[in-house]
Structure 1
Amino acid sequence: MGSDVFADSGPRHMMARIVGAGSSPVTMIRINWDSDEHRRCVAACIVNGTYIMDGDESRLHSSGKALAPAWWESFGFRRLRTLEYECECVFCKTKTKLFNLGAHRPCSIYGVVLEHAPPAGARRHPSAPRYVVAFRGTMPRHPSYLGDMHLNLRILVNRQHACGRFRHARDQVGRLLDSISSNGGGTAAVWLAGHSLGASIALDVGRDMVARKGWNNLPAFLFNPPQVSLAPSMLPQALRRVAKRVIYPASYAVKAALGATVLKPHERDMEALFEALAPWAPELYVHQRDIVCQGFIDYFEQRHKMLTRLRSVAEVAMKLSLRDMLICIHSTDPENGEDQRVRPHLLPSARLWKNSSYHDPHGLEQWWRPDSELRLSSRRYSDHGAEAEVFYG
């Protein structure tokens, strides 16, 4: 329970204890909304609050105190609505009773929509979001675990776009952006944030909003987004470097050859999608030792190397996936014409934040730590190349 208490586990470097005359010390949060570090910490804390929300129901019955609100109220946000969706795992679909698998919840909280509510008389900082939509990841030893794992398997085979939770998230964010747009507001007033499975949902939502509606000014904070790079990750570290030097150049050559010949229509479709997505640059937070998001690291770093060495080949191949080309080329999404199985790591633009610290590689808590603890670096990638890598701390 201690790890769920914001005052005990939150970002201490942003906390200040203020002692007034004749009163007890009060912990205040100091936020620099123009700081990449502070924005990252705020987004990570809010996502952590979504993990805690489900447990608050039982805590309210036992102790009368909810712990989740402190993870967003401390930064001046209030809950606008909770995102829930029914489980789609095989047990719920077939109404199978789980005798030995413990309790299972057919409907669970997977996210939250928050509204920024500055103190009375204060104005919202121009760099602060008006709304944040946050999504939690997988919750082990929790009644929703089976439903989460069902979605994780769908992500592994790239079939998540059609899942109910993903559709529901796209619908909810779309409605929010429509309401803001109709009132003359900008989409930058909305942040998307998620961890692991939740990062996959946020990425899917962001891609859909940009590709289908052209809302490219949509900040996204994606912590440990899943994209498993199977070939290199199954090898020992010593062989992995050798495999990358061989596998990736060969893969790029094959994709470029197919994209320029027999699969030219698919290459043209992907070029149009890349052009639509190019202005959008989500923030991807990955750990170098986290196998779950290794695919994003490999994709962007190898893409940059190939653009440097063989630009004409890389410009075609970086938009394509062999699995998409050979298996999914005829599968079309009825919602927006985009191939449902287009790999989510095929992003023209992103800022990749790499963490090489001692923290749990896939843990969310590391991301509300200060830069000085994370051995952090960032690099902005686009379809034209990459900027110089920046190191922090």
Structure 2
Amino acid sequence: MAKIGAEEIKTTKEEENPKEEAHPYAFHVSGPRNVVAPNWRDLINSSWKDPNHKRTVIACFIQAVYLLELDRQENKTEENALAPKWWLPFRYKLSQTLMDERDGSIYGAVLEWDRSAAMADLVLIRPSGAPKAVLALRGTLLKSPTIRRDIEDDLRFLAWESLKGSVRFKGALEALKSVATRYGSNNVCVAGHSLGAGFSLQVGKALAKEGIYVDTHLFNPPSVSLAMSFRNIGEKAGFAWNRLKSMLPSSGQTLATSEEGEKISSGGLKNWVSYFYGDKTSAELKKWVPHLYVNNSDYICCYYTNPDGRDVNNGGGNKENAIPIKGQAAAKLFVMSKGKQKFLEAHGLEQWWSDDLELQMSLQNSKLISRQLQSLYSLPAPQKTPLQQLR
């Protein structure tokens, strides 16, 4: 990752607790090196406009959630806690922790812009592009106090490709709705890593269905599930059946009947929506386009890079004005380009703030992206007429 500015966050060893110096998760040990702290220059040109800076800071906030739970498990005091070092340099503060009511573990946190801390650094207003609030959600922690509930949700996704049955989904959705209502959806971000990315995608999607579009960043989102495997088998069987039907004489285009009793062509939902709405569907796609950060060497998220036959590649990683493919669900997909890596390295969160990070960005119609987002663009249920309501 290129240097973002001349002023960098620097932490000298003299300022650190001697015991914290050797800790591998201390901010000054494993945190980003070339990232700018908010300063008065942000009144003119905000660092948050740089997508590299934004990705780095948001990844640090997710790391803070992992450390909030580790601090809790290790009974760390406020003086020697590791987590605050991951949000304080960016002038944010902890406003809410999300705790699993079953085991008391912390799985998420809401971080808000700290106006008073920024004012102390002569940053009079919030930099352009910096969210007022960020909901960050961690992934699986292989530690005895929380591993049971984490694995439980991992298996939930593996079996059903859905996390809506989890109490963590409910808590995350309520927290996101709360800050979106308080600050406005344009000023709020939701982000997660691994299992947390799965939750972030699904709560973001739930709000999008209500017309509330929140900036969404997903690091190593899970893409492997038994449900998906069964559907893939079904897709291949359907493809073979369609090939067989194409060889038979046909008297006309096959028609299907919808639940409302209307006839639609075998082209499916996409053609139906396009027929009634035309280009409006493409406009709607622009309202919620999640950012996915994946690594091809990570078998948990690599399926997102499997294209659906059509792929719009925009070359560089900084093209923010890409247009979704007409009538198709889309996402900004950032792919790590480091070659083959070991799984733990490829799935780790730390890679997303590394200095030598190289990303390729495309607005891509992968099979999984289309499947995950397709339900957002289905037509609403038809409204009953007054006469029908009286029946």
Q: Answer whether TM exceeds 0.5 for this pair.
A: yes
Aligned partners of 1:278 and 1:382 also within 8 Å = no
Do residues 282 (structure 1) and 290 (structure 2) align? yes
Pick from 204, 218, 221 the counterpart of residue 206 of structure 1. Answer: 204
Equivalent residue, structure 2, for 1:50: 65
CA drift at 1:69: 0.6
Equivalent position to 2:99, from 58, 68, 84: 84
Of 140, 160, 164, which residue of structure 2 is paired with 1:161?
Answer: 164
Q: Say if 2:100 and 2:168, in contact at 8 Å, map to a contact too.
A: yes
Structure 1: segments with no counterpart, 5+ residues = 17-29, 88-105, 181-185, 234-242, 307-313, 319-347, 384-393
**Change in 2 beyond 3 A, CA 1:61/1:229:** closer
Cα 1:62–1:232 change in 2 (3 A) is closer
Q: Distance in 2 between matches of 1:222 and 1:271?
A: 30
Root-mean-square deviation (Å): 3.9
Question: Is 1:178 matched with 2:186?
Answer: no
Contact 1:80 1:115 in 2 (8 A): yes
Deviations 1:77-136 (A, max 9, x none): 00001011224xxxxxxxxxxxxxxxxxx2210000011114214211111111011000
Match of 1:224 in 2: 220
Shift in alpha-carbon separation, 1:3–1:176, aligned structure 2, 3 A: same
CA deviation vs aligned residue, 1:193-239 (integer Å, no higher than 9, x gap): 10000001111111011112x112x2111000001277999xxxxxx
Amino acid aligned to 1:153 = L
SS in 1 for 2:361: strand
Query: What is the match of residue 110 of structure 2?
Result: 113
Q: Which runs of 5+ in 2 are unaligned?
A: 1-21, 38-44, 247-253, 261-267, 274-279, 313-324, 367-391
Q: Which digits, 9 at most, give the CA deviation of each residue in 1:38-87, with x for residues without a partner?
A: 11100111100100101213555579411101111111100001011224
2:311–2:363 Cα contact (<8 Å) kept: no
In structure 2, which of residues 190, 212, 215 is the aligned counterpart of residue 215 of structure 1? 212
- Structure-2 change in CA distance of 1:229 and 1:83 (3 Å): closer
Preserved CA contact (<8 Å) 2:161 2:225:
no
**How many residue pairs are counted as aligned between the two chains?**
291
Q: Which has the larger radius of gyration?
A: 2
The answer (yes or no) to whether the contact 1:207–1:277 under 8 Å persists in 2 is no
Please give the secondary structure, in 1, of the residue aligned with 2:80. coil
In 1: Cα distance, 2:78 partner to 2:84 partner: 15
The residue that corresponds to 2:300 in the other structure is: 292
Work out the CA distance in 2 between the residues paired with 1:31 and 1:3.
31
CA offsets 1:224-260 (integer angstroms, 9 cap, x no match): 0001277999xxxxxxxxx9xx969948968xx9xx7
- The answer on 1:7 being equivalent to 2:38 is no
Match of 2:19 in 1: none
Is 1:365 the counterpart of 2:325? The answer is: no
Q: Which residue of 1 aligns with 2:308?
A: 302
Residue type at the aligned position of 1:379 = S
Instruction: Measure how far apart 1:349 and its partner are.
Output: 2.1
| Mean Cα deviation higher: 220-229 or 35-44 | 220-229
* Cα separation, 2, equivalents of 1:290 and 1:252: 33
Q: Is 1:375–2:358 an aligned residue pair?
A: yes
The TM-score normalised by the length of structure 2 is 0.65
Q: 1:83 to 1:262 in 2, by over 3 A?
A: same
Structure 1 distance, partners of 2:58, 2:92, is: 11
Show CA shifts across 1:156-204 (max 9, x none). Answer: 1223122211011111111221222xxxxx3121111100000011111
C-alpha spacing 1:70/1:253, structure 2 compared with 1 (3 Å): farther
**If the length of structure 1 is used for normalisation, what is the TM-score?**
0.64
**1: CA distance between counterparts of 2:108 and 2:228?**
33
Task: Tell me, in whole angstroms, the C-alpha distance in 2 between the residues paired with 1:230 and 1:14.
Answer: 40
Q: Deviations over 1:261-310 (max 9, x none)?
A: 557559549977x9566521111000011111122111xx224259xxxx
Q: Is the CA contact 1:279–1:349 (under 8 Å) kept in the aligned structure 2?
A: no
SS at match of 1:192: strand
Is the partner of 2:139 in helix, strand or coil? coil
Q: Does structure 1 retain, via aligned residues, the 8 Å contact 2:161–2:228?
A: no
